[in-house]
Structure 1
Amino acid sequence: MAINSILSVKDLTISFNTFEGEVNAVRGVTFDLKEGETLALVGESGSGKSVSTKAITQLLPQRHTTISKGEIWYHDHDLLKKSSKEMKKIRGKDIAMIFQDPMTSLNPTLTVGRQIAEPLIEHRGMTKQAAKVEAIALMRKVGIVAAEQRFHQYPHQFSGGMRQRVMIAIALACHPKILIADEPTTALDVTIQAQIIDLLKELQAEFATSTIFITHDLGVVANIADRVAVMYAGKIVEIGTVDEIFYNPKHPYTWGLLASMPTMKMDNDDLYTIPGSPPNLLNVPTGDPFSSRNMYALEIDFQEEPPMFKVSETHYAATWLLHPDAPSIEVPEEIKRRNEQFVSILAAKGADSDE
């Protein structure tokens, strides 16, 4: 495990057995999560973001899932070798998750107070009364007004934003070392989304939690992440600090994601989209899976998948354009224009961290 890393994922390879055949969902994913940092996983739907993180907590359906290679190290333990009973002690206590849709994650037949108190009783050994007191305190901490009364209410009596706050309270109840947030703001409107992001940032600082944040929203990434891993077709194709990814992107797919971000100044006709669609992972194409969508593709892109090339000590990208013999290609002007919208977000985040 790398120095100061709390979690190390190494060469993780996962497939699903389906009626149509074997889906190669995750293909050799490797990354470290450092203590106290937020690592964002970004990419289109089906790129392997959620599958990679669900493997960490053993939440993938065992009957149809094959993990053919890989290691997931938490402290000195490979989580892939843990039994279901051992993982039950880790899940929720050391590693917690916040899911995209709280309505399907919360139990509709139990009060929210009971659901927040449950991990306190299970993992921290509290009595029911002590757990109730702590649960109400957690509800207040995540911004739920009249917590004593709302403790006895059911999920359907809460708005979407308030249900997500309940999910955050449950996830943080045992002060986990690692928090995995799987698109926790996608189903919320923009105003509530901003409130949840600010809340997560505050609580992460308070509890010194290391966070893996899954999202497709690059505006959220600029606001919350320290490092970014860009995923495509089951692989990480670029990884670096948030500044490196936004200001010095190297992979054509990252260029496309950045260019696709809408801005306040653009007309409706100006919205850029990446041509084509992701490959079918039942039959991964030869070479670079992004080659058919890449206007800068080289001949070798259709023959051989590129390795990770080192850009800096913290920045790597899997594109043949970084090979010493590749032609020099400038970052498209479209992306340079898009970067303007992130300047204020990144600057504000930097100012906040300096205070």
Structure 2
Amino acid sequence: MENILEVNDLHVSFDTFSGEVKAVRGVNLELRRGETLAIVGESGSGKSVTTKALMGLIPQPPGRIKQGEILLEGRDLTKLSEKELGKIRGRDMSMIFQDPMTSLNPTMKVGNQIMEGLIKHQKMARSEAKKRAIELLDMVGIPKPTERVDQYPHQFSGGMRQRVVIAIALACNPKLLIADEPTTALDVTIQAQILELMKDIQKRTETSIIFITHDLGVVANVADRVAVMYAGKIVEVGTVDDIFYNPKHPYTWGLLGSMPTLDNAEEELFAIPGSPPDLLNPPKGDAFAARNEYAMKIDEEQEPPMFKVSDTHYAATWLLHEHAPKIEPPEAVKKRMAGFAEASANGGGQR
């Protein structure tokens, strides 16, 4: 299948009073047409910085793309001016941000906010743009769209506001949609509705989606492939089944083991010890070594390459070297993996 997006050796830094923060350190990823790629990791792992770099939204200064390529349908976005990027944003790629409260202009009717992109990028007349805005509100599940198109954001609930944000992002039929933790500010019930909405819209529009989240439960339900980020790097990438049934990186084990389950309230959660490294001075070897109980001497001296597990699955850990000791995931992680497999076999929503 054809790639719509390719990111090659992306480095993003921020210049601060304390020095250079290397927030993204050599990210490589690809996205196929109609595919959903989830990027997961702790806060500060570089997920949002990576996607803002894709959109050309890194504030300069203090931020800068030091090196790398961002190829959208073969066109390198890092070489474009702000004016050229402005023509692409909204038309070819759009972004859904975390908080619908701050994503919408409180002084503008929601219909006008949807119409802006249609008028700018598709040169629609206002009457035609308003008709399309009503269609979009209906598509994202807003009741009585002909009435609500003339209402203001404060007249909508949090879940409805996020639906409006999605309508704005989809207005010009973008080829790439980036969703940066779009359900974080919503309660669990509304969260599920928004995720179902995004899956349904993707089926209808064949939009490619990058979904940023720290919640692996969300990933299991929406993604085709998963990239696990740590300290500004992708440390494991594979299909959802690869990551949930056969994880290889100790950091991925930690993320899976720390997921709560509903079937055993007394079960103790697995916790990753320590904290992420200071990216003002990234460690010499494997950035996860200090928190990794299975770390070897080489982890402190040399950064691991991406080892191939299968045609779809790669992980950057020295544990995959042919001479490394054979280490099994912790019991807490094995239980999660068994739970995913059982839920999947029973036709459950979560793997």
Task: State TM-score, norm by structure 2.
Answer: 0.96
| Aligned counterparts of 2:267 and 2:331: Cα–Cα separation in 1 | 17
| Aligned counterparts of 1:73 and 1:321: Cα–Cα separation in 2 | 32
Q: Specify which of 63, 68, 71 is matched with residue 69 of structure 2.
A: 71
Matched with 2:192 is 194
Matched with 1:242 is 240
| Aligned counterparts of 2:293 and 2:155: Cα–Cα separation in 1 | 50
In structure 1, give the amino acid aligned to 2:15: N
Deviations 1:155-179 (A, max 9, x none): 1111110010000000001111000
| Aligned counterparts of 2:152 and 2:6: Cα–Cα separation in 1 | 38
Matched with 2:162 is 164
How do residues 105-116 of structure 1 correspond to structure 2 at under 5 angstroms? 105-116=103-114
How do residues 284-303 of structure 1 correspond to structure 2 at under 5 angstroms? 284-303=282-301
Indicate whether 1:207 and 2:201 are aligned: no
Matched with 2:132 is 134
| Aligned counterparts of 1:206 and 1:78: Cα–Cα separation in 2 | 28
Check the 8 A contact 2:227/2:234 in 1, yes or no: yes
| Aligned counterparts of 1:190 and 1:148: Cα–Cα separation in 2 | 28
Matched with 1:256 is 254
Deviations 1:80-118 (A, max 9, x none): 001111111110000010000011111111111100111
Deviations 1:112-160 (A, max 9, x none): 1100111111111111011111101110110111112211111111111
Matched with 1:177 is 175
How do residues 25-36 of structure 1 correspond to structure 2 at under 5 angstroms? 25-36=23-34
Q: CA deviation at 1:346?
A: 4.8
- Bigger shift: residues 189-198 or 68-77: 68-77
Q: CA deviation at 1:266?
A: 2.7
Structure 1: give runs of 5+ residues left out of the alignment. none
Task: State TM-score, norm by structure 1.
Answer: 0.95
Partner of 1:165, secondary structure, is helix
In structure 2, give the amino acid aligned to 1:242: V
Q: CA deviation at 1:268?
A: 5.2
4+ residue stretches of structure 1 with deviation over 2 A? Answer: 265-269, 339-351
Q: CA deviation at 1:348?
A: 8.0
In structure 2, give the amino acid aligned to 1:101: D
| Aligned counterparts of 1:162 and 1:258: Cα–Cα separation in 2 | 31
Q: CA deviation at 1:65?
A: 1.2
Partner of 1:153, secondary structure, is coil
Q: CA deviation at 1:340?
A: 3.8
Partner of 2:229, secondary structure, is strand
In structure 2, give the amino acid aligned to 1:322: L
Deviations 1:174-230 (A, max 9, x none): 111000000001111110000000000000110110000000111110001000000
| Aligned counterparts of 2:75 and 2:277: Cα–Cα separation in 1 | 34
Q: CA deviation at 1:272?
A: 1.9
Matched with 1:279 is 277
| Aligned counterparts of 1:30 and 1:232: Cα–Cα separation in 2 | 13
Check the 8 A contact 1:222/1:345 in 2, yes or no: no
Aligned length: 349
Q: CA deviation at 1:314?
A: 1.0
In structure 2, give the amino acid aligned to 1:233: A
Q: CA deviation at 1:317?
A: 0.4
| Aligned counterparts of 2:257 and 2:273: Cα–Cα separation in 1 | 12
Indicate whether 1:95 and 2:110 are aligned: no
Deviations 1:50-86 (A, max 9, x none): 1111111101101111211100111121000011111
Check the 8 A contact 2:93/2:175 in 1, yes or no: yes
What fraction of aligned residue pairs are identical, expressed as a percent?
A: 65
Q: Specify which of 116, 119, 122 is matched with residue 120 of structure 2.
A: 122
